[in-house]
Structure 1
Amino acid sequence: MAANPTAPTALWPAPHARGAVDATVHVPGSKSVTNRALVLAALASEPGWLRRPLRSRDTLLMAGALRAMGVGIDEGVGPDGSGEAWRVLPAGLRGPATVDVGNAGTVMRFLPPVAALAAGDIRFDGDPRSYERPLHGVIDALRVLGARIDDDARGALPLTVHGGGALDGGPVSIDASSSSQFVSALLLSGPRFNQGVEVRHTGRSLPSLPHIRMTVDMLRAVGAQVDTPESGGEPNVWRVTPGALLGRDLTVEPDLSNAQPFLAAALVTGGRVLIPDWPSRTTQPGDRLREIFTEMGGSCELTEYGLEFTGSGRIHGIDVDLGDVGELTPGIAAVAALADTPSTLRGVSHLRLHETDRLAALTKEINELGGDVTETADGLRIRPRKLHGGVFHTYEDHRMATAGAIIGLAVAGVQIENVATTAKTLPDFPDLWTGMLGSDGA
C-alpha cells in the first residue's frame, strides 16, 4: 500500500478548463540527462559545460552531493553568453562528506559507486521514504567489486561508503528487476574502475530499458567504450572498458516525461499544445508519449519548432505494456480515468518501489474521486466512471501531483495536496500550468 498521505495543509485548487487549450509550453531540461551528465562530468579528466540544465530538487541534490565530494560546479551562463550553464571542474574525490539524497533515485543509486572512488568516508542519508527504496543491487555489487560499505545489512539507506581512492571493478551479477538504475549506476562509474565493469542482469524482466540506453549513449559521447546487448553482446550484459572520460559541452534536452501533463491537457480538452525543441532522436522514455497519446485519441506532428500535439475531443482507453516507460503511468492513468472505454496498464509492478507505491496511490486517489481502478499483479485496470471533486493526495510524489492536475482539467473541484512536490523535477509547475490555460482556466 501507499504511505499514508500527509494532512492536506496546502491544498491547490486544480484549474478546471473552460475550453480547449491552445498554448506553447517551454518544458525545462531533462532530470535524467542532467543528473547523468553531472556524474560523467565529475568523473572526467578535464572540465566540461552543461547547458540548459534542469534546476530542480533532484538535480540540486546531485550537484550538492558532488560538491561535498570535492567537485567544482559553477553556476552561471555559458562561454558564449547563450543562457544558463554549469561549469563542472573535476577534482580529486574526497571525504569525509555527507550526502543528502532527498528522495532522488538517481542520487541514492548513482553516487555510491562514485563515493567508492573517493579518498575518505562518504555517508548517505535522505528523506524517510528513501529508507524504503531498494539499494541492495548497488550495495551488493559494489562489495563484489571491492568496495567497503556499512549499511547494517539493510540493503538501503542510511549507509556509509568507505572510499579507498580507487576500485578494482570487474564482472558482477545483479538482479536489477526492481530498478534499471542499479545497472546505470555501475556503468556510469565503470570507466574509472581499474578493470572497468561487466554488469550481468540475472533477474526477471528489466524495467525502463530506455534509461539504460540513455546511460550508454551518454557514456559513449564522453569517450567511453561500452558493449551492450544491442551492439552484438550477450543478452542482459553490459561491459565498460576502463579509460579516461572527456569533458564535453552538452546541451540538455527538454524533459519529455515532464511534457506529459501538457500533452495530456490537449488530449483532455480537445486543444493544441506545442512543446518547443522536442528532439527528433532521443533515448528519453517520454518520447513514447507520441505513440501512446495518439492511440488514446490525439494526433501529433514533429516539426523544426518542436512537437505539436492536438486532441480530437475524445479519449479512448488503451491496453499497453509500460514496462519500459513506467514513469509515464500516473499521467496515462489520469487520462484513462477520463476515457470512453476501459484501459489496462501492464508491466509496471516495479512502481510499487518508486517515490511512493504508485499503483496503490493511483488506485486510492482516483477511486476517491468516484473512479473505478483496480490493482493487478503488474499494473492497473481502469474503467471510466463519472468523477467528482475532492482532495487528491500526492504522497510527496511529483507525478501524483501532475496526474491530479490532469484530472482537474475535466473535473471541477479537485484540490491537489502539496502541489509543491512537483519541484522535485518540474519547478514552477503551477505557473506553467495556469499559463498554459490562460484565460480558459477557471
Structure 2
Amino acid sequence: MTESSVHPALWPAPHATGAVDATVTVPGSKSVTNRALVLAALSSEPGWLRRPLRSRDTLLMAQALRTLGVGIEEGVGPDGSGEAWRIIPAGLHGPATVDVGNAGTVMRFLPPVACLADGPVRFDGDARSYERPLHGVIDALRALGARIDDDLRGALPLTVHGAGALDGGPVAIDASSSSQFVSALLLSAPRFNQGVEVRHTGSTLPSMPHIRMTVDMLRAAGAQVDEPETGGEPNVWRVSPSALLGRDLTVEPDLSNAQPFLAAALVTGGRVTVPDWPTRTTQPGDALREIFTAMGGSCELTERGLTFTGSGRIHGIDVDLGEVGELTPGIAALAALADSPSTLSGVAHLRLHETDRLAALTKEINGLGGDVTETADGLMIKPRPLQGGVFHTYDDHRMATAAAVIGLAVPGVEVENVATTAKTLPDFPDLWTGMLDSDPDTVGVSPGALGIPVEKPGA
C-alpha cells in the first residue's frame, strides 16, 4: 500500500460546532447505473436510463461501451423530466481498448461483454487496478470457451479475443474475494449460446446484496434466473439464453453514498433527510438504517425520504459487515468517535478493494491518535481522544468520506486528495459544506446563509 501522490493538495475538513439540520439530495447509485448500462447495451431494443450517476466509474463504463459500438446519448428524458441517457444497442466490435480506471464494475463486468464482440478488446487501467483480482472472471470465461491473454497474471492488463459469441454453460468459480465475479458472468449470460450456470465453490461470499441486485435487474430486463434466494440450489445461479428488453429505468439514490451525510447527524446530534429513499431495494446501503440506529440514532422513512436523527451520543457496535463491506470505512470513522469499543468483522475481502481498506483505516485513524487493530477479517476499534492531522486516502473515495466524518468532531483534520471522491460522489466537498450550511427546508445541499456555525480551517 502506497500513499497517493497524484493529487497531494490537502482539504481542511470542516469542523462542526453545532447540530446539522439539512436535506441532502444524493446522486444516483453507481451499482445500479453500471449494471443498467451493461444490460441496456446487450438488449434487443433501445432503452432509457433516467437520473444516472455521472461519476468517474460510470463515465468510464459508458465510454467503454461506446468504444465497443454501443450508442449512448446524454440529454433529457422524452418527457423533459431531467437528465437521462438513451442507450442504443449495436453489434459489438473490436479492435478496441477499454480504460477501466480503478472501477471494479468496469474491469469485471466488461470482459464477458467483450467475448461477444467481433475482434480483440484490450483492458487497461490505473496502477492499482493491476493489483485487484480478476482471476475469477478470467478463469471462468476460459472455461466457457473464451480466449484471453493476460500472461497468466489473473489481473490487468489483458486482451479478450472476442469471437462474436460465447458457448457458455456450467462453470465453477471461487468468488470469495469479490461478489462481482458472479455478477459479471450473470449480466452477460442471456447472450451466451447456452446461458450460464455459475457455481460458487468458496467458503464465503461477500456482498450478497449486490448479487441480489444483479438478479433483480436481469429479471426486470426479461431474463430467466434460477438462484438460491428463490429456492434454487445453494451457491448456484442459472441464467437461460434469451433476448433482453430495453427498459425505461430511473436510478435510485446511492444509499452507500448517503452514509457520510447520515453519519453527520449522528456525530453532531442533528438531523439529515435523504429524499427518495426507496421502500424496497437491494442496495447494501439500506442496512445503514439498522446499523446507525444501533449506534445511537433513530430514523423515519416517509414519502419525503429517510430522516435520520442523532441522539448526541455514538455507541460502539459489534457487527458482521460481510454483506455490506463498502460501509466499513464510514462505520470505522464513527466507531473511533464512539463511547465504547467496536468490532467490525466479515470484511477480509476489503484488503482487495480500491486500497487495502483495513490497513489504511488502521494507519490513518491511529495516525490521529486512535486505537485500531486489524484482525483476520476486520477491525477492533477502541475510542480514544483524537487530534488533527493529515488523513491519507490512497485514491479511495470511501477513505476520503470517512475522514470528513471524523473531521466534524476533530478540529484540524486535513484530507489528502479529497478529489478521489469523484469516483462515485461528484462534488463531494461542495455537498459536504453545503450540508453544514444549508437551510433544512431546502431540498439539496447548496450553501446558504442559515444553519449551524461551522469552523473551516484554512478557509
Q: Paired residue for 1:89?
A: 88
The aligned amino acid for 1:154 is R
List aligned pairs for 1:23-422, cutoff 5 A: 23-422=22-421
Structure 1 runs, 4 residues or longer, greater than 2 Å off: 2-9
C-alpha separation between the residues in 2 aligned to 1:300 and 1:75? 36
**Consecutive unaligned residues in structure 1, runs of 5 or more:** none
Displacement of 1:211: 0.1
C-alpha separation between the residues in 1 aligned to 2:54 and 2:406? 27
Are the aligned partners of 1:12 and 1:418 in contact in 2 as well (CA < 8 Å)? yes
The aligned amino acid for 2:412 is G
1:119-142 per-position Cα deviation (integer Å, ceiling 9, x unaligned): 000000000000000000000000
C-alpha separation between the residues in 2 aligned to 1:359 and 1:175? 22
C-alpha separation between the residues in 2 aligned to 1:166 and 1:78? 33
1:175-208 per-position Cα deviation (integer Å, ceiling 9, x unaligned): 0000000000000000000000000000111000
1:273-331 per-position Cα deviation (integer Å, ceiling 9, x unaligned): 00000000000000000000000000000000100000000000000000000000000
- Secondary structure at the residue paired with 1:120? strand
The aligned amino acid for 2:121 is I
- Secondary structure at the residue paired with 1:301? strand
Displacement of 1:9: 2.5
C-alpha separation between the residues in 2 aligned to 1:379 and 1:271? 29
The aligned amino acid for 1:320 is V
Are the aligned partners of 2:299 and 2:306 in contact in 1 as well (CA < 8 Å)? yes
C-alpha separation between the residues in 1 aligned to 2:160 and 2:369? 48
C-alpha separation between the residues in 1 aligned to 2:311 and 2:318? 19
Displacement of 1:436: 0.4
1:95-125 per-position Cα deviation (integer Å, ceiling 9, x unaligned): 0000000000000000000000000000000
The aligned amino acid for 2:257 is N
Q: Paired residue for 1:441?
A: 454
The aligned amino acid for 1:39 is V
Q: Paired residue for 2:443?
A: none
Are the aligned partners of 1:3 and 1:357 in contact in 2 as well (CA < 8 Å)? no
Q: Paired residue for 1:432?
A: 431
- Secondary structure at the residue paired with 2:282? coil
Displacement of 1:4: 3.2
Deviates more, 1:141-150 or 1:7-16: 7-16
Displacement of 1:441: 2.0
Displacement of 1:6: 2.8
The aligned amino acid for 1:112 is P
The aligned amino acid for 1:227 is D
The aligned amino acid for 2:375 is T
The aligned amino acid for 2:233 is E
The aligned amino acid for 1:319 is D
Are the aligned partners of 1:268 and 1:315 in contact in 2 as well (CA < 8 Å)? yes
Are the aligned partners of 2:7 and 2:419 in contact in 1 as well (CA < 8 Å)? no
Are the aligned partners of 1:192 and 1:242 in contact in 2 as well (CA < 8 Å)? yes
1:52-87 per-position Cα deviation (integer Å, ceiling 9, x unaligned): 000000000000000000000000000000000000
Are the aligned partners of 1:347 and 1:378 in contact in 2 as well (CA < 8 Å)? yes
C-alpha separation between the residues in 1 aligned to 2:29 and 2:374? 30
Could you say what the CA RMSD is over the residues aligned between the two structures, in angstroms?
A: 0.7
C-alpha separation between the residues in 2 aligned to 1:168 and 1:9? 48
**Consecutive unaligned residues in structure 2, runs of 5 or more:** 438-450
The number of residue pairs the alignment matches comes to 441
Displacement of 1:393: 0.2
Are the aligned partners of 1:71 and 1:93 in contact in 2 as well (CA < 8 Å)? yes
C-alpha separation between the residues in 2 aligned to 1:8 and 1:267? 30
1:314-355 per-position Cα deviation (integer Å, ceiling 9, x unaligned): 000000000000000000000000000000000000000000
Distance 1:304 1:129, change over 3 A: same
Displacement of 1:18: 1.1
- Secondary structure at the residue paired with 1:309? strand
Displacement of 1:8: 6.9
Displacement of 1:3: 2.6
The aligned amino acid for 1:264 is A
Distance 1:244 1:78, change over 3 A: same
- Secondary structure at the residue paired with 1:257? coil
C-alpha separation between the residues in 1 aligned to 2:7 and 2:118? 44
Displacement of 1:231: 1.1
- Secondary structure at the residue paired with 1:29? coil
Displacement of 1:7: 7.5
C-alpha separation between the residues in 2 aligned to 1:305 and 1:126? 40
TM-score normalised by structure 2 residue count: 0.96
C-alpha separation between the residues in 1 aligned to 2:385 and 2:65? 48
C-alpha separation between the residues in 1 aligned to 2:195 and 2:173? 16
The aligned amino acid for 1:421 is T
C-alpha separation between the residues in 2 aligned to 1:344 and 1:304? 34
The aligned amino acid for 1:96 is P
The aligned amino acid for 2:185 is L
C-alpha separation between the residues in 2 aligned to 1:167 and 1:279? 37
Q: Paired residue for 2:447?
A: none
The aligned amino acid for 2:153 is R
TM-score normalised by structure 1 residue count: 0.99
Displacement of 1:147: 0.4
